[in-house]
Amino acid sequence: MPAPKNSIRRSLLVTSAIVLSTALTAPAAFAAPSPSAGSSSKPSAGSSADSSATASADPSKTPSKKPKDSKNSKGSKAAPPAKMSTVGGALLGRAGTQVNLASGVPVLPKGLSARSWIVADAESGEVLAAHNAHWQLAPASTLKMLFADTLLPKWPSSTEHEVEPSDLAGIGSGSSMVGIKEDETYTVHDLWLGVFLRSGNDAVRVLAAMNGGVENTVAEMNEHAEELQALDTVVVSPDGYDAEGQVSSAYDLTLIARSGLQKKDFREYASTVRADFPGETRKNKKGKKVRESFEIQNTNRLLSGDYDIPVYQGIAGVKNGNTTEAGATFTGVAEQDGRVLLVTVMNPEKKEGNQVYKETAKLFDWGFEAAGKVDPVGELVPPRSAAQAGARPGGAGASPGEAGGTGEGALGAADGRPVASAAAGGGAGGVGTALAVTGGVLVLLAGGAFLVNRRWPLPDLVRRRPRP
C-alpha cells in the first residue's frame, strides 16, 4: 500500500479512536432494572446505587483482591459485595445490573436468575451489559479455559505421553472423566479433546503432570491470570474442582475466553462437537493386542444440543462447568451477521434443566439485538503486555498481519471429520475471534482506554451437524 494511504488510514483510526474514547468516558445513563424486567437475583440493599465505588477504572491502579476463602459465594441468599473491582470501568464494580437502556435499546430478557453474568463484544471489547460482573464466585470447569490458555503452547499436538499412575493422583471424588487409563499412550491432541469435550479432570491431571505437576501448573495459571488482568481469579485446583479459596468472576472468565480464542488450537477444541477418543488396549480372540476408540461428545449444550434446548445459531464454544459450590457456569462465544459476542453466566438460582444455557441464549439474543444501539457500560481490558506494548512509542504502527496466528480456522477433529464449523474438505473452519493480543494489533491509546483492533471475520458457524 502506498505511503500516503497508510498515513491517511492510520490518522483516521487514531482520530476515530480518540472520539470514541471520549464517548466511552463520558457520563452514562445508568439503569438497574427490577427483577421483573431483568434479573431475579437481588443485590444487597442500596448497593446497586452505591456511589462509593470510586476506584480508578485504570486496571493498573486497581488492587488485586485475593480472598482467603470463597464463603461469599455460598448459600442461596448470598449477596454480592457492595464494592467490587473496577477493572474495565467503574460501573462494573457496582452490585446489580448495569445497562444503558436508552431509547431504541431492547429491554433485558425476563427470567434471568444467575448471580452474575456479562454480555460483551468479543472484537471491540465493549461490555454491553452486566450483572455483578466482578463478583468472585466458584468457577467450576470454566476454569479449564485458563488451564488451556496457559498450557496449550507447551507442546505440539502430536506429542505422545504414556500415563503413569502418579499422573492421575489427587482427582476429586465425583469428577467428570474422559476415561484415561494408566500405562496407555495418548497424544496431546487426545488429551485436549478430553479436556474440552468431556471436561475430563483426568485429562487435566495428565497434562499438569507433563507440565511439572499440579503445584507448578497452578502457579503458572495464577501468573497468567495476572497477565490477563483477570484479578478476581484465584486458582487452587487446575481442573476447577471445588477448592477452598478458588474463585473467578464473569468478567474474568470472559477475559480468559477472549484470550484463549486467539489461539487456533483453542478454537478447534472449543468448537468440536464430537470426536473419537482412544480406548483401552485389549487382546482380541486371536490374542492380538488391539486398541479401539469410542466417541465423545461436547457437553456444551448450546453447541451439541439437548432434549430441551436446540443448538444456538452461530455458537462456537467455549466451556461449561458444574460443581456443588459453583452451581452451573458457562462462557460462550457466538457470531451472527458478522458480529461476535461473548456471554458468561454464573450459577442461575433457577435449578431447571439446562438453565445456564437457556439464560445464556437469552442474553445472546439480547446482545445481538442491542449491539450497535446500546452504549457500553465498560470494556474488556487487554493483557498487561499488550497494553504496555501499545503505550510504547511506535506501538500503534504495527501491521495487523503480524498478530499472533494467521487467522486461519481450526483443524479437523480427531477422527478426521471436520469440527462443527469446518468445511468437510479443508482447515478453514473454527472460531476466529477478531481481537489479536500480540504484535501491536491491540493498542492502548494514551489518555484513553479505547482499543484499535482488526476484525477477523468468522467462517460459517451457522452450519451445524444435526444434534444427537
Report yes or no: 240 and 144 within 8 Å, Cβ to Cβ: yes
Return all residues near 413 (Cβ < 8 A) that are at least 6 apart. 193, 272, 274, 275, 276, 419
Report yes or no: 167 and 206 within 8 Å, Cβ to Cβ: yes
State the maximum Cα–Cα separation within the chain, in Å, rounded to a whole number.
Answer: 77
Active-site residue, from 47, 124, 141, 271 = 141
Is 5 catalytic? The answer is no
Cα–Cα distance measured from residue 66 to residue 53, given in angstroms and rounded to the nearest whole number: 18
Is 199 catalytic? The answer is yes
Cα–Cα distance measured from residue 291 to residue 152, given in angstroms and rounded to the nearest whole number: 26
Q: Hey, which bits of 43-159 come out as E strands? A: 97-98, 114-121, 126-131
Report yes or no: 316 and 266 within 8 Å, Cβ to Cβ: no
The stretches of 214-354 forming alpha helices (DSSP H) are: 214-227, 250-260, 264-271, 301-304
Closest listed residue to residue 334, CA positions, set 230, 400, 389, 261: 261
Closest listed residue to residue 387, CA positions, set 451, 321, 455, 304: 451
Closest listed residue to residue 60, CA positions, set 445, 381, 440: 381
Is 42 catalytic? The answer is no
β-sheet bridge partners, residue 452:
443
Active-site residue, from 73, 113, 199, 248 = 199
Which secondary structure element, helix H or strand E, spans residue 3, and what is its range? helix 3-25
* Local structure of residue 103 (DSSP, 8 states): T
Q: Could you report how far apart the first and last alpha carbons of the chain are, in Å?
A: 49
**Helices H / strands E in the chain, number of each:** 10, 13
Active-site residue, from 48, 144, 248, 358 = 144
Torsion of the alpha carbons at 96, 98, 104 and 108, rounded to the nearest 10:
-40
Pairing of the two strands 339-348 and 114-121: antiparallel
Task: Name the residues annotated as catalytic.
Answer: 141, 144, 199
